[in-house]
Amino acid sequence: MELRLAHSEYVTDSQAPEANTASDSRFAAFASRAPWRRLPHPLRLLVATVLGASSLVVGAVLLVLPGPGLVFLALGLAILATEFAWAHTVLHRATNTGRQGLHKVRALVGRPTTRNPT
């Protein structure tokens, strides 16, 4: 069985990375049959770029104006991360930084966390 990667590269089962957990395999199964994955790559890239960039712009504006700016920034990065590796990296770093901040705040308040910060 071959897996198709983002830039028309093919990987056989022996070269494919192993899934770490069951949730990774469930996500991979969902992502492989998601409707947007059936679109031609240039169209999918254009749609992801336009929706992600517009969400980032709306999020930046809502940081100054009253509204859920951080939500739109995260949404824009998540949309862009479906097609761009740099956006996936930024989203991963932001998620980890937010998680570490949450653990620090909980430690200051005195509520222990159930998991170790990653």
- In tens digits, the chain (118 residues) has pLDDT values of 444 445 444 444 444 445 455 556 666 676 666 676 777 888 888 988 999 999 999 999 999 999 898 999 999 999 898 888 888 899 899 999 989 998 888 888 887 666 665 5
3-state secondary structure of 32: helix
Distance of CA 110 to the CA centre of its chain: 31
Task: Give 103's contacts (C-beta < 8 A, 6+ positions apart).
Answer: 113, 117
| Cβ atoms of residues 67 and 51 within 8 Å | no
Return d(Cα 82, Cα 92) in angstroms, integer. 13
pTM for the model stands at 0.62
Tell me how far CA of residue 97 lies from CA of 65, 67, 91, 118, in angstroms.
24, 22, 10, 9
